[in-house]
């Protein structure tokens, strides 16, 4: 049974049984605890946590999932993967254990002809939490499982929680016996390779306290509503139903391996080392494409760094298989072809995905070149020092700074007869991970005590009136100070206020929150900020400027009208610039982030190279033409599938309710899902002036602009600047660029002439330096400090010229240049000196520490620098002493 059929049957089974079908959420959710969505229930966490009411009593989804904790282990075994699909069914206070077990058992054991998976009931085992007698009785009642095929397990295995205080509950896992050829008999407690877990049913019924992530915590009590969260691993079920040994041999994954076989002309299954590489390619290709499709771009931090690692591991694995041509786009196309039916965005957005991975592959190939040079220098230093092991810190530097996988460093070292301090490398890697974990822990908010907001949410969601009015009568539902609900607040205090209705926009979708006031007789509150909690509750941070605020009080909330005018211009301007980008650059130039406030907008978009001046001008012109055309702005409320059918653009990482708001500017020209405030006609945006465009990461560009009165002020400032320049240069405005260009050219010519004269002056002093040579055991040693300010390049030229003047006699030249506290130096040796074993690179360690520096190079020429200029005289003495020692010992 093909994977797509497995998914179809799961979805249809639960839809027939009253579940709402919920599409997969993005892999990127606004959750401080998670880098990526790592479980099928993650999008439903607000409902399980009681932060928001569930839109449906029961739901089902096929959720894409990425787990990156074991990246280094992927490929080494056939079990580790980073991307998989989790099929789940969920109940929010509706059915519980009995119905959950019935639904799972029916689907997995019903014959394939009747729409099930047709697993043999006699080969099914289950585990339950150690004291969950109720589940054991239900399995025996519903499935007729004998006692020996129901096994009890402890808290670490069969008590689920989010690893922090909050909801938890016993779980029951379903396993399938694959037969004696896969391992020992005795059930999953004995061998989880033979007994493959395919389904986990979580009975969310309790609240846990603080303690360990998986065990050693206290059960505090029961939840008010008992919930069901189950997950079936789609790829694992595919392995069973397709009769293959592991997920890498299933239909959607094996196709990537087949392409790698074709490119490498090697065969999967013939060699374990090669198999590791094939599996890395297959797994990481799927994960990488899915992450890019959801808006991640390669970078050096957080999600971007994970993606970069994955893509570079693919390239490296392909190289180790003997493939030298670019490969990422080829593997991405296979993923698109195999998974596009389930995830249509892979097809429609492939041009953007392909451009990002091609750029990353090009970057990595350059990195390989640069890193290889760093390795060569390090290897030479090691051999020169008579050692044979690359230090762990150098291997870590190659990994951390240049993106070199450790296996690449090991291979390159072996080729040169060197070993690598792997223990030191692993220790530094462990320290880095520990720092990352500590940083993540410090940033975690977890699911702390939000009971105060849940209490207020139970009173009903805040009604947002700001689309229709700028002032609304309201009632104070709650006042929060320092996380605690209070009855009142007085002048001078800063508190949070929840109203039953408000016209003040809460920060979201890149738009800043509204400025405004909340007033009543004798009461004056300045609104400092407005945020949403659980997408339903508007929380106003206010400063009490006068009077006393009391819970239950009737007030009026007012938006600052000038602020709203500017905010609407900024947000609508963002949509216009986005549409202009897509018109000029093509549909792959998708927004990946934005920020707007009155008079200003910033938009990040997927693009791999800088924009020319002509392209920026064209984008600006298209934007302003849209403003001049006075395009109508229309808001449409529809379902998410309906919005996609309309061609509306959805933003990466955003989650949407069943009913969505589509904002159109000029009909299909600009059509985006958006909850922000907007103008009624595009002419109300006013002029749009682009400020600039820059890179904010690999594959992501940023464009900034002023709109409305801010754009006018910016242009007025530019005009005044031009007029001042024209007055200074005594030319008309139109002639300013030409006159400035002429002045710059004259300056460039003058600088070149100065450089030539300075070089000639330096070379004129070569004879003086040669005359200062001191004889050290028959070697002419020129070791002097040259005039301050000589550049490293000039210092090198000067040293070579002095060496040449020494002719055929043994000679060592060491020149030092001081710039403040910094020191640059160059060491050069004649051929006769090198015959005496005086190598420039080996002389450097004798004096460099004296000036707090380091350096290196070849036997004939070496250079470096230091940070202690006071040590130059001692360094010169140390050099002479080293020449004396070396010649005496030769």
Is 500 among the domain residues?
A: yes
What are the residue ranges of helices labelled H in 686-735? 708-729
Kindly report which listed range (137-141, 575-579, 852-856) carries the lowest average pLDDT score: 852-856
Whether 688 and 836 map to the same domain: the answer is no
**Cα(616)–Cα(633) distance, rounded to whole angstroms?**
25
Higher pLDDT among residues 414 and 275, named by residue: 275
Q: Is the pLDDT of residue 439 over 60?
A: no
What order of strands is seen across the sheet that includes strand 659-665? 633-639, 659-665, 670-673
**Which pLDDT band holds residue 161 (cuts at 50, 70, 90)?**
confident
What are the residue ranges of helices labelled H in 516-587? 561-585
**Which pLDDT band holds residue 530 (cuts at 50, 70, 90)?**
very high
Tens digits of residue pLDDT in 332-345: 999 999 999 999 98
Tens digits of residue pLDDT in 857-873: 889 999 998 989 899 99
Whether 783 and 753 map to the same domain: the answer is no
For a pLDDT cut of 70, what percent of the chain falls above it? 95
- The first and second tokens of residue 165, run together, are 């205080």
Q: Residue 616: what pLDDT?
A: 94
Q: Which residues contact 598 (CB under 8 A, 6 or more apart)?
A: 512, 562, 563, 565, 566, 567, 569, 570, 708, 710
Higher pLDDT among residues 406 and 442, named by residue: 406
Q: Residue 444: what pLDDT?
A: 37
Is there a contact between 54 and 91 (Cβ–Cβ < 8 Å)? no
Kindly report which listed range (103-107, 601-605, 818-822) carries the lowest average pLDDT score: 818-822
* 678 has binding-site annotation: yes
Sign of torsion, CA 154 158 161 164? positive
Q: Which of 10, 44, 1 is nearest to 233 (CA)?
A: 10
Whether 486 and 634 map to the same domain: the answer is no
**Which pLDDT band holds residue 821 (cuts at 50, 70, 90)?**
confident
Q: Largest alpha-carbon pair distance within the chain?
A: 104
The whole domain housing 701 covers 564-716
Whether 756 and 773 map to the same domain: the answer is no
Q: Residue 49: what pLDDT?
A: 76
**Which pLDDT band holds residue 426 (cuts at 50, 70, 90)?**
confident
**Cα(282)–Cα(330) distance, rounded to whole angstroms?**
12
Q: Regarding beta strands 166-177 and 591-597, do their DSSP bridges make them parallel or antiparallel, or are they unpaired?
A: unpaired
For a pLDDT cut of 90, what percent of the chain falls above it? 57
Q: What residues form DSSP beta bridges with 781?
A: 774, 812
* 674 has binding-site annotation: yes
Is 723 among the domain residues?
A: no
Tens digits of residue pLDDT in 635-666: 999 988 888 888 888 765 566 677 889 999 99
**Average confidence (pLDDT) over 119-123:** 96
Task: Measure Cα distances from 108 to 40, 177, 765 in Å.
Answer: 19, 14, 90
* Counted domains in the chain: 7
Query: End of a domain among 510, 525, 559?
Result: 559
**Average confidence (pLDDT) over 488-512:** 94
Whether 48 and 132 map to the same domain: the answer is yes
| pLDDT, averaged across the chain | 89
Whether 574 and 653 map to the same domain: the answer is yes
Whether 212 and 133 map to the same domain: the answer is yes
Whether 196 and 264 map to the same domain: the answer is no
Is 722 among the domain residues?
A: no
Q: Which of 108, 90, 102 is nearest to 47 (CA)?
A: 90
CATH at 34: 3.30.930.10
**Cα(488)–Cα(720) distance, rounded to whole angstroms?**
53
In the chain, count of helices (H) and strands (E)? Answer: 26, 35
The radius of gyration of the chain's CA atoms, rounded to the nearest angstrom, is 34
Task: Measure Cα distances from 628 to 620, 683, 685, 731, 887 in Å.
Answer: 12, 6, 10, 34, 83
- The first and second tokens of residue 441, run together, are 């822990």
Is there a contact between 804 and 773 (Cβ–Cβ < 8 Å)? no
SS3 state at 185: coil
Q: Is the pLDDT of residue 225 over 90?
A: no
Is there a contact between 58 and 20 (Cβ–Cβ < 8 Å)? yes
- Please tell me the pTM assigned to this model: 0.66
Whether 571 and 703 map to the same domain: the answer is yes
CA 694 to chain CA centroid, Å, is 19
Whether 433 and 483 map to the same domain: the answer is no
Q: Residue 172: what pLDDT?
A: 96
- The first and second tokens of residue 327, run together, are 């490969």
Is there a contact between 487 and 479 (Cβ–Cβ < 8 Å)? yes
* 575 has binding-site annotation: yes
Is 585 among the domain residues?
A: yes
SS3 state at 672: strand
Is 138 among the domain residues?
A: yes
Is 724 among the domain residues?
A: no
CATH at 513: 2.40.30.130
Q: Is the pLDDT of residue 441 over 50?
A: no
Kindly report the number of other CB atoms within 10 A of residue 34's CB atom: 16
Higher pLDDT among residues 752 and 500, named by residue: 500
**Average confidence (pLDDT) over 43-51:** 82
Query: End of a domain among 559, 583, 615?
Result: 559
Report angle CA 656, 61, 456 to the nearest 5 degrees.
Answer: 45
Whether 571 and 604 map to the same domain: the answer is yes
- The first and second tokens of residue 505, run together, are 């926009």
Tens digits of residue pLDDT in 228-250: 999 999 999 999 999 998 899 99
Q: Is the pLDDT of residue 756 over 80?
A: no
Is 375 among the domain residues?
A: no
Q: Which residues contact 469 (CB under 8 A, 6 or more apart)?
A: 503
Q: How would you class 267 by CB atoms within 10 Å of its CB: exposed for 0-12, middle for 13-18, buried for 19 or more?
A: exposed
**Average confidence (pLDDT) over 369-390:** 81
Q: Is the pLDDT of residue 436 over 70?
A: no
Q: Residue 667: what pLDDT?
A: 93
* End-to-end CA separation in angstroms for the chain: 78
SS3 state at 581: helix
- The first and second tokens of residue 299, run together, are 């970078």
DSSP 389-411: EE-HHHHHHHHHHH---HHHHHH
* 399 has binding-site annotation: no
- The first and second tokens of residue 699, run together, are 């594959």
Is there a contact between 479 and 495 (Cβ–Cβ < 8 Å)? yes
Q: Regarding beta strands 488-489 and 471-481, do their DSSP bridges make them parallel or antiparallel, or are they unpaired?
A: unpaired
Is 347 among the domain residues?
A: yes
Q: Residue 652: what pLDDT?
A: 59
Whether 91 and 186 map to the same domain: the answer is yes
């Amino acid at each position: 049974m093909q994977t797509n059929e497995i998914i179809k049957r799961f979805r249809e089974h639960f839809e027939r049984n009253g579940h709402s079908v919920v599409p997969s959420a993005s892999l990127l959710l606004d959750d401080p605890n998670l880098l990526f969505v790592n479980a099928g229930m993650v999008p439903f966490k607000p409902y399980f946590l009681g932060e928001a009411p569930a839109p449906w009593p029961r739901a089902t989804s096929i959720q894409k999932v990425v787990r990156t904790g074991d990246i280094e282990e992927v490929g080494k075994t056939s079990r580790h993967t980073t991307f998989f699909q989790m099929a789940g069914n969920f109940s929010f206070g509706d059915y519980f254990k009995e119905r959950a077990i019935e639904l799972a058992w029916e689907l997995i054991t019903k014959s394939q002809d009747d729409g099930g998976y047709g697993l043999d009931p006699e080969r099914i085992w289950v585990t339950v939490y150690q004291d969950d007698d109720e589940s054991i009785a239900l399995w025996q009642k519903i499935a007729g499982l004998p006692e020996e095929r129901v096994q009890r397990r402890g808290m670490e295995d069969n008590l689920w929680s989010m690893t922090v205080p909050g909801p938890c509950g016993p779980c029951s896992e379903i396993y399938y016996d694959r037969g004696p050829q896969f391992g020992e008999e005795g059930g999953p407690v004995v061998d989880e390779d033979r007994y493959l877990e395919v389904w986990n049913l979580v009975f969310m019924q309790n609240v846990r306290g603080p303690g360990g992530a998986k065990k050693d915590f206290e059960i505090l009590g029961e939840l008010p509503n008992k919930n069901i969260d189950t997950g079936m691993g789609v790829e694992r079920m595919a392995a069973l139903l397709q009769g293959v040994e592991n997920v890498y041999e299933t239909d959607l994954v094996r196709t990537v391996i087949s392409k790698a076989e074709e490119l490498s002309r090697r065969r999967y299954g013939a060699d374990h080392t090669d198999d590791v590489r094939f599996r890395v390619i297959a797994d990481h290709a799927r994960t990488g494409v899915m992450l890019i499709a959801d808006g991640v771009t390669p970078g050096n931090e957080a999600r971007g760094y994970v993606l970069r690692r994955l893509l570079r591991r693919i390239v490296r694995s392909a190289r180790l298989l003997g493939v030298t041509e670019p490969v990422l786009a080829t593997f991405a196309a296979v993923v698109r072809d195999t998974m596009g039916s389930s995830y249509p965005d892979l097809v429609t957005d492939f041009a953007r995905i392909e451009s990002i991975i091609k750029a990353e592959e090009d970057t990595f190939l350059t990195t390989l070149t640069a890193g290889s040079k760093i390795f060569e220098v390090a290897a030479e230093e090691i051999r020169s020092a008579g050692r044979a092991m690359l230090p762990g810190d150098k291997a870590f530097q190659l990994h951390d700074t240049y993106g070199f996988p450790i296996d690449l460093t090991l291979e390159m070292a072996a080729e040169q007869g060197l070993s690598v301090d792997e223990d030191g490398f692993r220790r530094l890697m462990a320290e880095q991970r520990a720092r990352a974990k500590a940083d993540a822990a410090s940033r975690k908010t977890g699911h702390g005590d939000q009971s105060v907001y849940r209490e207020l949410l139970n009173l009903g969601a805040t009604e947002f009136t700001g689309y229709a009015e700028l002032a609304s009568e309201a009632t104070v539902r709650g006042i929060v100070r320092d996380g605690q609900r209070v009855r009142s607040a007085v002048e001078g205090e800063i508190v949070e206020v929840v109203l039953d209705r408000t016209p003040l926009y809460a920060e979201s979708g890149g738009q800043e929150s509204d400025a405004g006031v909340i007033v009543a007789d004798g009461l004056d509150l300045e609104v400092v900020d407005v945020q949403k909690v659980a997408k339903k509750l508007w929380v106003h941070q206010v400063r009490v400027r006068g009077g006393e605020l009391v819970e239950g009080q009737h007030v009026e909330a007012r938006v600052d009208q000038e602020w709203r005018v500017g905010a609407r211009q900024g947000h609508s301007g963002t949509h216009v610039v986005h549409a202009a980008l897509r018109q000029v650059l093509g549909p792959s130039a998708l927004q990946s982030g934005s920020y707007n406030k009155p008079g200003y907008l910033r938009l990040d978009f997927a693009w791999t190279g800088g924009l020319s001046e002509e392209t920026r001008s064209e984008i600006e012109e298209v934007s302003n033409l849209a403003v001049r055309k006075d395009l109508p702005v229309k808001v449409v409320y529809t379902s998410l599938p309906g919005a996609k059918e309309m061609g509306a653009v959805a933003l990466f990482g955003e989650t949407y309710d069943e009913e969505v708001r589509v904002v159109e500017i000029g009909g299909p020209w600009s059509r985006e899902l958006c909850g922000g405030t907007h103008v009624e006609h595009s002419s109300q945006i006013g002029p749009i002036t682009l400020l600039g465009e820059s890179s904010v990461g690999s594959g992501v560009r940023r464009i900034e602009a002023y709109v409305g009165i801010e754009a006018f002020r910016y242009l007025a400032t530019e005009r005044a600047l031009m007029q001042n320049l024209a007055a200074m240069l005594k030319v008309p405005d139109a002639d300013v660029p030409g006159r400035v260009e002429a002045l710059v050219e004259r300056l460039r010519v003058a600088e070149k002439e100065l450089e030539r004269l300075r070089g000639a002056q330096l070379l004129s002093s070569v004879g003086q330096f040669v005359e200062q040579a001191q004889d050290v055991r028959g070697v002419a040693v020129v070791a002097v400090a040259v005039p301050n300010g000589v550049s490293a390049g000039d210092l090198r030229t000067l040293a070579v010229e002095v060496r040449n003047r020494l002719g055929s006699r043994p000679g060592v030249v060491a020149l030092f240049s001081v710039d403040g506290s910094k020191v640059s130096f160059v060491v050069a040796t004649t051929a006769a000196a090198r015959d005496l074993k005086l190598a420039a690179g080996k002389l450097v360690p004798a004096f460099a520490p004296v000036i707090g520096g380091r350096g290196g190079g070849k036997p004939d020429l070496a250079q470096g620098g230091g940070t202690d200029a006071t040590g130059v005289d001692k360094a010169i003495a140390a050099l002479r002493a080293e020449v004396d020692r070396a010649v005496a010992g030769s």
